[in-house]
């Protein structure tokens, strides 16, 4: 069964005719050409496919587009403000927090949600927020450092 | 990519509509709330419903309310909402803990408490892809007729793997269940059956609408979860302890074990031993030994089953010690509330 | 050069591909979508070992949306394998399947869903054969043969090498220890599942984009199995979303995608599921080890004898090399005057093992480092001091004829001992400390004679411990996988009047930052910023051959080639600039995007201008750089595995607590000092160290690739336990520089070595905490409780393998020990001028 859906992704409305059983992950990548969203298991077991729905990190591999209609979806392609990188993106690049980069989109989005809710998290809070995103390359160390650096810079920019 | 099988999706706006739709499609239909349990299972072809009835659009399922007789948690409330709700954290710390220990942050943003109490039983011969199950030979829970864990057995021993169910049981929660033919309110214990396949004692059209918690006065609770990692992993042992205290004397107590049977398993003798007593180290040891009795894990989850059994004792002791204020350095503080 | 002479080297610069990665622009293989593309799926065996009776594809072909279905009958009957000596794989199995997951047939269809459905419509009948699921099974059933070739029934490889008279050395020792260890297998688990897109165009040419670490070997294999000239095939390695050795073999899915593209006239994509990645495997071998070592009272090693049995799985892969690696690298760390190694790789009906980060060496490293810990305890020596004394001398040879150049291991040990507070913690923590002192944490108010007795608190069940271990690893294999005299790595640097510089190199960036290192080194030589250098990697039609991203060879080999190529470009430009400025070329320097004489810098010309002058003088500016390692293979059969231009060294201290009631291990801190030769970029180097530690932790405590009833027990991300942020401790990295004459600006490897010491350091720390020995990896809580239980029952508190296979190694090749001899010539290698 195909349905016509209208998804608000990165503040743009996308219409598509897709089978109901196609997940948000599949529709983003295959129908909307937003391949920045990655996947590592498609079963909810790795966090690689994380996107934001109304600002909250969710797993696009377990979400149906129908269930996200009318809600705000943010993918990695929408994290920067136009050409201005999000401070997290800047910090990840500067500190080498992306090695192979495959987990990076999901981690950046999860971290962005954390910082908008809790602008100055402790290291333990960052660890807990990112506990649903596996990374096999970095040992998380540079990732945690980069989130802390971005938080600090955002804090400074506010004051 | 591993993908979903095809199905028709219905999005009712009210509970009544949802129940009617379920009744109409019978065995062909399944409910979905957050989808975090159902969709992975469907991708592995453990379920292939023709019709999926989504509960997300039903307003009355959302939210936490305080009413005269206690607290009401709508079944559609997400685990994130449950774990961070200030009143729940205050009154039912074990529930906040258990909800906060389910899988990962993302999953808790999606998964609901209703889905969590109805979550499918698990077994590492069953939570596998279609191809894998075919290769090993299908078991009776899906597509086959034998049990691979207990080959002589006529029943399935898949494991109740909900984090919140044992806690809700220990807290004396009741459920409001709405079906096509009306609604009923039952103690949560009555939702479960000791069978890995038919693990829920409810008709398919019945929807868990609310979780009802009695007032918390005097109750203290703790939940400890055994798993390999601090995130993602299902419990392979859950220990929920609740005690109503009068001063330092236990008036009422419940100990419920998760993930050691096809349903949450109460340790009644052990709990009875607590009543009328002050919690001392000796008592803790005695009760923990008793509580480990009903823990009968089989070899179908992560960790060896003798190990899970052994840790039952330790966790019961630690949970009791926490409730009794016998500070010990044992459990990680995040696990005890 | 001293550190201060560098402009780029040593700076914490972002990676050149970092920006694309943080905005989601990097295109991995599965992100490629071509017009008219078809999607392919493999049908895989559901039997661990069986003869194929028949495959009926009729129902699959009839399914609407299916473009093509292939079986072995549709491919040339050519076997392949990464090593010339182990050509035992088939793109699609023809007669026999050897594991659950072996590919049998493939479908190309309009979409993945249809291809998947069609696979389920293929009917296969099998004649099951007994499945041999362990080393013991396979050796006990010589009548059931998984392969017809090898060194015996189900014995893929049997090797034995002896350097000096080990028996005599052991007789002369004050202490001889004999220990048995087991290291369970585990897998790479890259976050990106393997994917490939093949396009066989109507001009008869084939392009394959694949997430591979070794496009060159894939290229060779495609030519062979598709019976097509290599000249008509182009392999492009897409950015790899994690490799760790798991994408280093040529794979069935790559070959099949090509064939399906040929048949359908469409581009064909194939993307493996996570479960299929577990079957593709090539991960860490399970290895059973017996190690016998003699020690003097002061802790010197008199001699060492090691036996290893590797569970190879169903195919050869890199297995012959893996087998040697379980034996040959141990001697480059500590002084081992005489050495004997016997190793055997056994075929079993499981996914093939191969190279995973540290290829073949973490297992014997675990054995040796735990044994050293036991010896130190028996000899009453501090385990750090024992190791410090016996570190190999620089510029000498090992017993097995490997040349050690620089070695910073002593300094590494000193640094971690100091940073971790080793000495104080070693006495403060641990069983012996606990036994001597009163239980801590008891109630302060309570006490004898006190009337309000507060219940005394029991001591915490969490016991602290601290442990140490060291390691060494190769910086690139000294010999190629197939014998040849050509470069191992090549680079072309080109520049034109735009001032832009491009580097073409066959290396693949798997996240380790090889593109960045190429840009840094070239920029350093030419006085540019890395951003001025464009790197074009891993395209077999455009880039000079590089053997691939494995064995920690890329930074050294591509780096040396890049330095050579960039140096040639610089010399050409200098000549032109010198003429213009009327100075001697030798007086010129390149820096800050200019070329000039330092004392007369105002006259310096811009780099772009310099290139114009160069182009005018020489014509097109494009220069090659070539690298092949020094020829140092030992002059005996098998001497080709182990030599490397130089070795990196690590020392690691782990601090942890163990809960003696639950057996749970909590890591607190890991200190690691790594001899990297020269740090080209501290951020990248630390990142490699941290990633290695992380992977080592997973292997030590939870990751295992285990089987049950002929099947992988847990082929999923959820049940294969990869540590999360919450299991990862704070990691303190110390980089030690020894400026190795063999490396680019003195650099050695950092991508694999730091994994090795973590595992034994954890085991040794657990011993320190509780006095128990877990001689088996992973060290799980149930094993810890079992050891404690043994102690309660008055038995030795050790959990580990209890038996060894009945197996006859072949007569050893006896060679004189080269221990302590001066190193071969340093810095002498092919293609130098
Ligand atoms: C990787 C991973 C890890 C997990 N780890 C944990 C864990 O640690 N602990 C844990 O407890 N769970 C875990 N889960 C399971 C699951 O995510 C949670 O149990 C979650 O709470 C389920 O809620 P849901 O709303 O997503 O359920 P759904 O998937 O929507 O539904 C689950 C089941 O309940 C039924 N159902 C849902 N809502 C209702 C209702 N209101 N009335 C009647 N039936 C209903 C559905 O028909 C379905 O059978 C994990 C899942 C994954 C994929
Ligand atoms: S317990 Fe037995 S029947 Fe039930 S899922 Fe496991 S193997 Fe199947
Ligand atoms: S792809 Fe792994 S959680 Fe979605
Ligand atoms: S950077 Fe490779 S998986 Fe995280």
DSSP C622-689: EEEEEE-------SSTTTTSS--S-EEEEEEEEEEEEETTT--EEEEEEEEEEE-SS-S-HHHHHHHH
Q: CA dist C478 to C482, C552, C627, C633, Å?
A: 12, 11, 11, 7
Residues C74 and C201 in one domain: yes
> Between chains, do B40 and A44 touch, taking CB under 8 Å as contact?
yes
**CA pair distance C787, C781, nearest whole angstrom:** 10
Residue C511 beta carbon below 6 angstroms from any ligand 4 atom: yes
Assign residue C589 the CATH number of its domain.
3.30.365.10
List the beta strands (DSSP E) in C353-438. 396-397, 403-404
Instruction: Please give the Cα distance from C149 to C513 (Å, whole number).
Output: 39
Count how many domains chain C has: 3
Q: Are residues C428 and C465 in the same domain?
A: yes
Do B178 and B260 have their domain in common?
A: yes
**Integer Cα distance of C531 and C537 in angstroms:** 16
CATH superfamily of A2-78: Beta-grasp domain (3.10.20.30)
Torsion of CA C798, C802, C808, C812, to 10 degrees: 0
Phi and psi, residue C639, nearest 5°:
-70, -5
pLDDT tens track for B236-272: 999 999 999 999 999 999 999 999 999 999 999 999 9
C275 and C294 share one domain? no
Q: What is the mean pLDDT of chain C?
A: 95
Mean pLDDT calculated for residue range C514-534: 96
C594 pLDDT higher than 90: yes
C214 located within any domain: yes
Angstrom distance (rounded) from CA B103 to CA B116: 11
- Answer for the pair C630, C478: CB distance below 8 angstroms, yes or no: yes
pLDDT of C449 reads 36
Q: How far is B330 from chain C (nearest CA, A)?
A: 6
Indicate if B281 and B246 belong to the same structural domain: yes
CB atoms under 10 Å from CB of C483, counted, come to 8
Contact list in B for residue C120 (CB cut-off 8 A) is: 130
Whether residue C44 is contained in a domain is answered as yes
- Provide DSSP, B48-78: --SEEEE-TT-GGG--EEEETTEEEEETT-B
Taking CB atoms and an 8 Å cutoff, what residues of chain C touch B3? 112-113, 116
Rg from Cα positions in chain C:
28
CA B283 to centroid of ligand 4, rounded, Å: 49
Same-domain status, B66 and B202: yes
Which segment of A5-9, B250-254, B324-328, C374-378 scores lowest on mean pLDDT? B324-328
Mean pLDDT, residues C513-525:
95
Verify whether ligand 1 is closer than 6 Å to residue C724 (CB atom). no
- Tens digits of per-residue pLDDT, B289-308? 999 999 999 999 999 999 99
**pLDDT tens profile C235-282:** 999 999 999 999 999 999 999 999 999 999 999 999 999 999 999 999
Select from C457, C726, C781 the Cβ nearest to the Cβ of B327.
C457
Q: Is B187 on the interface with A (CB under 8 A)?
A: no
Is the Cβ pair A20, B8 closer than 8 Å? yes
* Residue B154 located in a structural domain: no
What number is the average pLDDT over the span C430-458? 46
Residue C410 lies in a domain: yes
Report the number of distinct structural domains present in chain B: 2
Exposure class string for C94-119: b at 16+ Cβ within 10 A, else e: bebbbbbbbbbbbbbbeebbbbbbbb
For C738, the token pair is 């020894």
User: What is the reported pTM?
Assistant: 0.96
Tell me, what's the pLDDT at B330? Answer: 41
Residue C563 — very low, low, confident or very high, per pLDDT cuts 50/70/90? Answer: very high
Q: What is the pLDDT averaged over residues C648-672?
A: 98
pLDDT in the model for residue C3: 53
Same structural domain for residues B53 and B168? no
pLDDT of residue C549: 87
Residues B169, B221 share a domain: yes
Residues of chain A with CATH 3.10.20.30: 2-78
pLDDT digits (tens, 9 = 90+) for C683-736: 999 999 999 999 999 999 999 999 999 999 999 999 999 999 999 999 999 999
C522 and C544 in one domain? yes
Residue C446 has pLDDT above 60, yes or no: no
Residue C812: which pLDDT band, with cuts at 50, 70 and 90?
Answer: very high
In a domain, B278, yes or no: yes
- Of C280, C309, C338, the one marking the end of a domain is C280
Q: Is residue B151 part of a domain?
A: no
Nearest residue to C656 via CA among C730, C564, C756, C732: C730
DSSP H helix total and E strand total for chain B? 12, 12
The tens place of each residue's pLDDT in chain A, 159 residues long, gives 799 999 999 999 999 999 999 999 999 999 999 999 999 999 999 999 999 999 999 999 999 999 999 999 999 999 999 999 999 999 999 999 999 999 999 999 999 999 999 999 999 999 999 999 999 999 999 999 999 999 999 999 998
Which residue has 């002369």 as its token pair?
Answer: C172
Residue C825 lies in a domain: no
Residue C21 within any structural domain of the chain: no
Whether residue B230 lies within 8 A of chain C, CB to CB, comes out as yes
Measured CA angle at C335 (ends C332, C338), to 5 deg: 95
Most ligand 3 atoms within 8 A of CB, residue of A35, A42, A132 to mutate: A42
Question: What class has domain A87-158?
Answer: mainly alpha
- Please say if the pLDDT value at position B334 is more than 80: no
Task: Give me the pLDDT at residue C512, please.
Answer: 84
State if residue B29 touches ligand 1 by the CB under 6 angstroms criterion.
Answer: no
In this structure, the answer to whether residues B302 and B289 fall within a common structural domain is yes
Same domain, yes or no, for B189 and B49? no
Domain that holds residue C543: 486-627
Same domain, B169 and B42: no
At B318, give phi and psi (nearest 5°).
Answer: -70, -40
Report the CATH number that the domain containing residue C254 is assigned in CATH.
3.90.1170.50
Q: Which two tokens stand for residue B116?
A: 């969590």
Residues B91 and B113 in one domain: yes
Average pLDDT over residues C540-558: 91
Crossing angle of helices C758-770 and C362-379, in 10° steps, is: 30
- Please check whether residues C459 and C500 belong to one and the same domain: no
> Where does a domain end: C592, C627, C662?
C627
Residue B141 lies in a domain: no
Q: What pLDDT does residue C552 have?
A: 84
Q: Is residue C202 part of a domain?
A: yes
Q: C325 and C210 share a domain?
A: no
Which uninterrupted H or E stretch holds A58? strand A56-59
Q: Is C445's pLDDT higher than 50?
A: no
CATH (domain of B19): 3.30.43.10
- Cross-chain CB nearest to C785 (options B127, B132, B307): B307
Residue A73: which region, alpha, beta or left (left: phi > 0; alpha: psi -120 to 50)? Answer: beta
Of the pLDDT bands very low, low, confident and very high (cuts 50, 70, 90), residue C457 is low
Q: Which two tokens stand for residue C385?
A: 């001091």
Residue with tokens 């419903």: B49
User: Does A143 sit in the ligand 4 pocket, CB within 6 Å?
Assistant: no
Q: Given this model, what pLDDT does residue C2 score?
A: 53
- Say yes or no: CB of residue B260 within 6 Å of ligand 2: no
pLDDT value for C550: 85
- C776 in the same domain as C724: yes
Neighbours of chain C (3+ CB pairs under 8 A): A, B
- What's the rounded Cα separation, in Å, for the pair C286 and C267? 39
The answer to whether the CB of C544 falls within 8 A of the CB of C504 is: yes
| Dist CA C152 CA C183 (whole Å) | 24
Distance CA C129, CA B80 (A): 51
The dihedrals phi and psi of B88, each to the nearest 5 degrees, come to -65, -45
Helix (H) or strand (E) holding B221: strand B219-226
Say yes or no: ipTM exceeds 0.95. yes
B233 touches chain C (CB under 8 A): yes
Best B36, B39, B105, B132 residue to mutate vs chain C (most C CBs within 10 Å): B132
Q: Give CA separation, B104 vs B250, C337, C530, C723, in Å.
A: 35, 52, 39, 13
Peptide bond into C778 cis (omega under 30): yes
- Closest Cα partner for B30 from B44, B7, B49? B49
Note down the domain range covering B95.
Answer: 59-118+159-335
Other Cβ atoms less than 10 A from the Cβ of B6: the count is 14
Among residues C627, C656, C677, the one where a domain terminates is C627
Q: How far is B321 from chain A (nearest CA, A)?
A: 26
Domain-embedded: residue C641 = yes
Same domain, B84 and B163: yes
Same domain, B289 and B173: yes
Q: Do residues C436 and C581 both lie within one domain?
A: no
Nearest CB among C713, C715, C726 relative to B229 is that of C726
Whether the pLDDT of residue C436 is over 50: the answer is no
Residue of B nearest to A2 (CA): B8
Residue C755 maps to a domain: yes
CA distances from C366 to C159, C369, C373 (A): 21, 5, 11
Q: Does A39 touch chain B (CB under 8 A)?
A: yes
- Report yes or no: B231 at the A interface, CB cutoff 8 Å: yes
- Contact between B124 and C713 under an 8 Å Cβ cutoff? The reply is yes
Number of other residues whose CB lies within 10 A of the CB of residue C562: 32
Nearest atom, ligand 1, residue B162 CA: 11
Report whether residue B73 contacts ligand 1, using a CB cutoff of 6 Å.
no
Query: Within chain A, which residue ranges are assigned CATH 1.10.150.120?
Result: 87-158
Location of structure tokens 């010690």: B321
Query: Does B129 lie at the interface with C, CB-CB under 8 angstroms?
Result: yes
């Amino acid at each position: 069964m195909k349905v016509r859906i209208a998804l608000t992704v990165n503040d743009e409305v996308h219409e598509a005719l897709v089978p109901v059983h196609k997940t948000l992950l599949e529709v983003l990548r295959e129908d909307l050409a937003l391949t920045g969203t990655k996947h590592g298991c498609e079963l909810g077991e790795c966090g690689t496919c994380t996107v934001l729905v109304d600002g909250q990190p969710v797993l696009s591999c377990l979400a149906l587009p129908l269930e996200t209609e009318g809600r705000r979806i943010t993918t990695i392609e929408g994290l920067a403000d136009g050409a201005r990188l999000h401070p997290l993106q800047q910090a990840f690049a500067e500190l080498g927090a992306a090695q192979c980069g495959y987990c990076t989109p999901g981690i950046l989005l999860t971290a962005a949600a954390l910082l908008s809710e809790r602008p100055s998290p402790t290291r333990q809070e960052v660890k807990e927020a990112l506990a649903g995103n596996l990374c096999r390359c970095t040992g998380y160390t540079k990732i945690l450092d980069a989130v802390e650096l971005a938080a600090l810079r955002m804090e400074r920019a506010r004051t | 990519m591993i993908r979903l099988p095809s199905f028709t999706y219905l999005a009712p706006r009210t509970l009544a509509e949802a129940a009617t739709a379920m009744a109409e499609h019978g065995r062909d239909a399944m409910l979905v709330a957050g989808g975090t349990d159902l969709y992975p299972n469907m991708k592995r072809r453990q379920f292939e419903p023709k019709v999926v009835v989504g509960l997300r659009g039903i307003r009355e399922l959302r939210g936490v309310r305080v009413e005269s007789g206690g607290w009401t948690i709508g079944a559609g409330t997400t685990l994130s909402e449950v774990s961070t709700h200030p009143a729940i954290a205050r009154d039912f710390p074990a529930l906040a803990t258990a909800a906060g220990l389910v899988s990962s942050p993302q999953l808790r943003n999606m998964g609901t408490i209703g889905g969590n109490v109805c979550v499918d039983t698990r077994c590492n011969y069953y939570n596998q892809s279609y191809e894998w199950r075919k290769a090993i030979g299908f078991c009776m829970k899906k597509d086959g007729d034998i049990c691979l864990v207990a080959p002589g057995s006529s029943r399935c021993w898949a494991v109740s793997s909900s984090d919140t169910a044992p806690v809700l049981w220990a807290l004396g929660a009741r459920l409001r269940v709405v079906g096509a033919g009306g609604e009923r309110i039952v103690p949560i214990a009555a939702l479960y059956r000791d069978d890995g396949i038919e693990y829920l004692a409810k008709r398919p059209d019945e929807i868990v609408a609310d979780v009802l918690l009695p007032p918390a006065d005097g109750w203290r609770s703790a939940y400890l979860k055994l798993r390999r990692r601090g995130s993602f992993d299902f419990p392979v042992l859950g220990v929920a302890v609740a005690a109503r205290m009068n001063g330092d004397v236990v008036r009422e107590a419940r100990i419920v074990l998760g993930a050691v049977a096809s349903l949450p398993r109460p340790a009644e003798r052990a709990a009875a031993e607590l009543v009328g007593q002050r919690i001392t180290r000796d008592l803790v040891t005695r009760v923990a030994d008793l509580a480990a009795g009903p823990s009968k894990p089989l070899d179908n989850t992560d960790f060896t089953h003798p190990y899970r059994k052994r840790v039952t004792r330790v966790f019961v002791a630690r949970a009791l010690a926490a409730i009794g204020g016998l500070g010990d350095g044992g459990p990680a503080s995040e696990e005890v509330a | 050069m001293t550190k201060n002479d560098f402009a780029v080297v040593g700076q914490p610069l972002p990676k050149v591909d970092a920006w694309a990665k943080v905005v989601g622009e990097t295109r991995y293989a599965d992100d490629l979508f071509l017009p008219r593309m078809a999607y392919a799926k493999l049908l895989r065996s559901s039997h661990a070992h069986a003869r194929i009776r028949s495959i009926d594809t009729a129902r699959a072909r009839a399914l609407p949306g299916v473009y093509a279905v292939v079986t072995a009958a549709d491919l040339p009957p050519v076997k392949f394998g990464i090593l010339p000596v182990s050509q035992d794989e088939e793109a699609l199995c023809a007669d026999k399947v050897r594991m659950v997951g072996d590919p049998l047939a493939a479908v190309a269809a309009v979409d993945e869903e249809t291809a998947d459905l069609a696979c389920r419509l293929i009917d296969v009948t099998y004649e099951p054969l007994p499945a041999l699921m362990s080393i013991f099974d396979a050796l006990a059933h010589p009548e059931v043969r998984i392969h017809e070739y090898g060194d015996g029934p189900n014995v893929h490889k049997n090797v034995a090498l002896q350097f000096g008279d080990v028996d005599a050395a052991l007789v002369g020792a004050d202490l001889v220890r004999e220990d048995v260890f087991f290291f369970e297998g585990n897998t790479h688990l890259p976050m990106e599942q393997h994917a490939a897109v093949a396009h066989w165009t109507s001009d008869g040419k084939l392009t394959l984009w694949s997430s591979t670490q070794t496009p060159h070997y894939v290229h060779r294999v495609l030519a062979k199995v598709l019976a097509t000239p290599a000249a008509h095939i182009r392999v492009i390695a897409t950015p790899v979303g994690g490799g760790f050795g798991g994408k280093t073999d040529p794979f069935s899915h790559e070959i099949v995608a090509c064939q399906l593209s040929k048949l359908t006239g469409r581009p064909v994509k194939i993307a493996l599921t996570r479960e299929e990645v577990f079957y593709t495997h090539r991960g860490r071998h399970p290895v059973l080890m017996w190690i016998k070592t003699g020690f003097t009272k002061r802790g010197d090693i008199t001699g060492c004898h090691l036996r290893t049995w590797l569970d190879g799985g169903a195919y050869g892969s890199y297995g012959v090399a893996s087998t040697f690696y379980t034996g040959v690298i141990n001697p480059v760390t500590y002084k081992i005057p005489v050495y004997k190694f016997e190793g055997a790789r056994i075929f079993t009906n499981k996914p093939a093992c191969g190279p995973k980060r540290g290829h073949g060496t973490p297992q014997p490293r675990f054995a040796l480092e735990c044994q050293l810990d036991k010896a130190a305890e028996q000899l009453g020596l501090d385990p750090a001091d024992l190791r410090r004394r016996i570190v190999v001398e620089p510029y000498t040879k090992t017993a097995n004829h490997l040349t050690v150049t620089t070695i910073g291991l002593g300094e590494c040990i000193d640094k971690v001992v100091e940073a971790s507070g080793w000495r104080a913690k070693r006495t403060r923590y641990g069983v012996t400390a606990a036994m001597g002192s009163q239980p801590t944490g008891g109630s302060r108010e309570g006490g004898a004679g006190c009337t309000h007795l507060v219940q005394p608190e029991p001591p915490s069940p969490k016991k602290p411990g601290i442990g140490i271990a060291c390691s060494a690893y190769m910086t690139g294999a000294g010999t190629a996988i197939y014998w040849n005299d050509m470069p191992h790595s090549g680079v072309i640097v080109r520049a034109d009047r735009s001032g832009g510089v491009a580097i073409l190199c066959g290396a693949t960036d798997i996240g380790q930052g090889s593109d960045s290192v190429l840009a840094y080194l070239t920029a350093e030589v030419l006085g540019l910023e890395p951003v001025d250098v464009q790197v074009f990697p891993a395209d077999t039609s455009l880039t000079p051959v590089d053997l691939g991203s494995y064995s920690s060879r890329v930074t050294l080999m591509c780096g040396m080639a890049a330095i050579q190529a960039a140096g040639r470009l610089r010399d050409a430009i200098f000549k032109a600039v010198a003429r213009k400025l009327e100075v001697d070329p030798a007086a010129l320097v390149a820096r800050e995007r200019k070329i000039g004489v330092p004392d007369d810098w105002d006259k310096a010309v811009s780099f772009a201008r310099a290139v114009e002058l160069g182009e005018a003088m020489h014509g097109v500016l494009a220069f090659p750089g070539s690298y092949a390692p020094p020829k140092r293979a030992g002059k005996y059969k098998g001497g080709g595995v182990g030599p490397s231009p130089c070795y990196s060294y690590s020392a690691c201290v782990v601090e942890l607590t163990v809960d003696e009631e639950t057996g749970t291990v909590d890591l607190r801190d890991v200190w690691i000092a790594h001899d990297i030769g020269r740090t080209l970029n501290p951020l990248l180097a630390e990142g490699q160290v941290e990633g290695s530690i992380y992977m080592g932790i997973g292997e030590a405590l939870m990751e295992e690739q285990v089987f049950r009833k002929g099947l992988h027990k847990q082929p999923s991300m959820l049940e294969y336990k990869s540590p999360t942020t919450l299991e990862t401790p704070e990691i303190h990295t110390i980089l030690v520089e020894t400026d190795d004459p063999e490396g680019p600006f003195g650099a050695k490897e950092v991508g694999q070595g730091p994994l090795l010491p973590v595992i034994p350091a954890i085991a040794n720390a657990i011993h320190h905490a509780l006095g128990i020995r877990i001689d088996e990896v992973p060290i799980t809580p149930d094993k810890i409780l079992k050891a404690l239980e043994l102690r309660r029952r008055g038995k030795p508190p050790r959990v580990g393998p209890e038996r060894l296979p009945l197996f006859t190694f072949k007569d050893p090749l006896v060679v004189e020990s080269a221990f302590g001899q001066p190193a071969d010539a340093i810095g002498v290698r092919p293609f130098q001028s």
